[in-house]
Structure 1
Amino acid sequence: MTRAAWIRHGSWAAVAVAAFGLGSVRSGDDPGSTARTGAVSKTESRASPGRASGGSGGMRAAKGGPGRAADQPRGPVAELFPLPGLPRSEREFDALARQAFQDGNPLARRAAFTRFLEAMTRENAPAMRKYLVDMNADKDQWKDFHYAWGSIDGEVAVKHAMDTREYDMEFTMSGWSSMHPAEAERFLKELTAAGKGENVLLRRGLVAGLADADRSLATAMIFDLAGAGAKNTGELLGIVTGKVLQRQGIAEAARWSAELPDGPLKAAAMDQVAHAYAGKDPRAAAQWAERFAGEDYASRVIEEVGDEWAKRNPAEAVKWLVSLDAGGGQNSGLRSALSRWAQRDPVPAGEHLARMARSPQRDAAINGYVRGLATKDPVGAIEWADSIANDRLRAEALTSAGKAYLQRNPAAARAWIAQGGLPAGVRKAVLKP
């Protein structure tokens, strides 16, 4: 359909303003991801859409834009960026698109883009998409447009995405799944049954959209997939966990993840929550995590909290870790925390180790200390490594310190190796390029 042909359709389906608002909607974003301009390529991946009509006909747009009474007062920011009604000609679409994608003011772009989405119908969506390509839409606009298109015309939009070179399948499937999860899931199953294989991007989009609509259903789907032997289920649950953290907050994410069935998926979700929790409030995170210190699935949780806390206050982190019941989580946490403490302030860290009684916890702590100290003082690190009682950990620590020594002072390190006394495996590992 050409852009001029839009005029002949005569009516426009208004996607609810509350769905897209003045802010951007995203599907499956990592909070730390950076925006990129242009139609992104098919090698990378929230939205809470308003309900759109599933009928084939469009809705007539309200004059002056939907959702606002004529006499409703406008705030001062809205007054800065007055927008016309929904576009009804190619010229009006061109003007709106230029404002949405090229205006120098980000608030004006966002407001215009919201109006641009409101004008989308099943009929005009393919032609509207050309504006995004031609005018170098940014990443959030790209994602939101395809989420909206998937929301109102799922199968058609997804099939279109499958035939394009740009990265749009995941976002489009997310929109479809958020509105019609059963249809979207059936489509993916039929695609797989037809011998076209499992499409990872479509599966990610399915889970992301379903998580927008119903996190319980999304979680149940992932555990069912894991039970059937599917791969990448940890990554899929990570999408759901990220949405819970972003929307419901850390406290709810902590409660939700702790109630998941025991096993690797629960461990992965709790680890993700622990990272966010400890980054914000390590002491509160520690109080939450210590309830699970004796559980196998919580080993990474303890380590994550200890490691994040050690970035701010390693002494407090180590004090907390030592207070826990013995277990893998405690040992791995001590290793991480002492490594950071050694990098930050090796003298008090070494004094703390000297006060610890010989134990598996001390061995793990020294192993971490050696790793943190080796780049600054490899000779001192070697001396500490020799004090580890556990043979495997001692060999591991000596290898780490030896490699650092060889890199820092090759001649002295080779003389140390030539003296003998090192286990053959350690000597070989240290000298291995």
Structure 2
Amino acid sequence: MKPGIPLIIAAVAIASVGAFIAGRASAPNTASNDQSTSTDIPERTSRRDLVRDSGASSTSRNSPSGQPSAASGDTAVIDEMKQIIGTVDPLARAQAWLDFINTIEPDQFEGVVAEFRESGFARENMGEYGMLLTAWAKIDPLQALDYAKENTGSPFARNTILASWVATDPEAAIIWAKDNHDGDKANPWMVGVIRGLAQYDPSRASELMSSMPYSDERGDALQAIVPHIMAQGGDAAKNWASSIEDDRLREGAVKRVSEQLAKDDPQGTAEWLATSGGDAANDAIDNVMGIWAREDSTAAIAHFEGIPSGELRTNALRGLTNHLATGDPSAAARLLDSHAGDADDNTYRQFVWHSMREEPALAADYIGLIQNENERDQTYRRTLERWMWRDLDGAAQWMGSADLPEGVSKDLENRMQSIVERRR
């Protein structure tokens, strides 16, 4: 009987899967950063050696349909898998799944994964799927990656496998990711490497991320790294974000770091952005001020009053009015009116969008303050048409008393007629 995969590996898998599923919002629990201990590695290595010593093939076993299937004699394993997945109690299912993974022989993983996917479980049971892939990667990452390349279309499987592999052999995983990518575009394989590496070596993960071109993949890598940078403390996170050389990447990092810092210290975060300066700070301040306003709008507004004139102040005003407009559009309008010199077209446009549902007539009154004619007219068309769909009489009454641009007025009259005809 082979040694089982330590229960702690499954715990790591659960944390990793959470990051992949949230996508974009949550991250691996930093408590799992030290799970890859030196005592775990020899056991994983011995299991990988067991696969090689047994003469098990690393090539795919295919069914007559061309898809991988469980090896002969694995029917009991497949039946057990299906029974566990069908367990209603989530705690009982989780424990049974951990025990099940510990019983899978190295040469059974491919068949089990193939049957798991073919049965449709991967769509509804992403947590179990991620744990299964993580365990396979501990045994034979190359075989797991070969399978993912040939049979999966989404990045979930490859990212999970690579994140698991990098915990035991980061250099091998990095080399594999580089060797399996051609062209100048961002390397999609590197995202999984960075996800896994960020848990225990965020500096190296940051280096790999910084070498990637601007892309969705680089954004995914940034999202994976930030939680682990934040675990080092606020000052370290600020220094890390500010030190990034690539302008667009630095902007993204400052925005994500400031979002996290603002949850506990909005004032300190706003002050950091004010002193750091640059486009990154200017772009991030509106979100920070909005977060602060949700907790203490009076303090946030008082802080805004002390910001010198310029882009930072304008963006701070936009963040405040965006927050106020969702609950009290009249208060947001008063703030705008008292600081009209700080508002720009984007400020007014955002105010309109955020206040349209609560007070559509008030929101529509501010569209005319947008200076760019194209943006102003498009905002009229989009917002008033939506208003007509919700409240035709109210929109018609407002339009009857408004001095709209001629082209906009004709377009909206046609849309109104179309709506009336559809409702007959």
After TM superposition, the score normalised by the length of structure 1 is: 0.68
| Partner Cα separation in structure 2 for residue 260 and residue 431 of structure 1 | 51
Q: How does 1:50-89 map to 2 (within 5 A)?
A: 50=36, 51-52=40-41, 53-55=44-46, 56-58=48-50
| Partner Cα separation in structure 2 for residue 213 and residue 431 of structure 1 | 61
SS in 2 for 1:24: helix
| Cα contact 2:18–2:127 (8 A) shared by 1 | no
Q: How does 1:257-336 map to 2 (within 5 A)?
A: 257-261=241-245, 263-279=247-263, 281-292=265-276, 294-336=277-319
> What is the aligned length?
371
Distance 1:308 1:253, change over 3 A: same
Name the structure 1 match of 2:130.
143
Work out which of the residue numbers 17, 20, 24 in structure 1 matches 2:10: 20
| Cα contact 1:22–1:111 (8 A) shared by 2 | no
Gaps of 5+ in 2: 52-72, 416-424
Greater share of residues in helix: 2
Distance 1:243 1:426, change over 3 A: farther
| Partner Cα separation in structure 2 for residue 305 and residue 360 of structure 1 | 18
Query: CA RMSD of the aligned region, Å?
Result: 4.2
| Partner Cα separation in structure 2 for residue 340 and residue 262 of structure 1 | 31
Distance 1:299 1:375, change over 3 A: same
- Which AA in structure 2 matches 1:273? V
| Cα contact 2:262–2:292 (8 A) shared by 1 | yes
Distance 1:351 1:401, change over 3 A: same
- Which AA in structure 2 matches 1:233? R
Q: How does 1:163-242 map to 2 (within 5 A)?
A: 163-165=150-152, 168-193=157-182, 201-226=188-213, 232-242=217-227
Gaps of 5+ in 1: 1-9, 35-44, 60-88
Distance 1:251 1:15, change over 3 A: farther
Aligned-residue identity in percent: 18
Distance 1:316 1:372, change over 3 A: farther
SS in 2 for 1:192: coil
Work out which of the residue numbers 333, 337, 340 in structure 1 matches 2:323: 340
- Which AA in structure 1 matches 2:10? F
Name the structure 1 match of 2:69.
none
- Which AA in structure 2 matches 1:305? V
Measured after TM superposition, the shift of residue 153 of structure 1 is 1.5
| Partner Cα separation in structure 2 for residue 103 and residue 149 of structure 1 | 23
| Cα contact 2:148–2:157 (8 A) shared by 1 | yes
Q: How does 1:348-367 map to 2 (within 5 A)?
A: 348-356=331-339, 358-361=340-343, 366=348
| Cα contact 2:288–2:319 (8 A) shared by 1 | no
| Partner Cα separation in structure 2 for residue 279 and residue 253 of structure 1 | 14
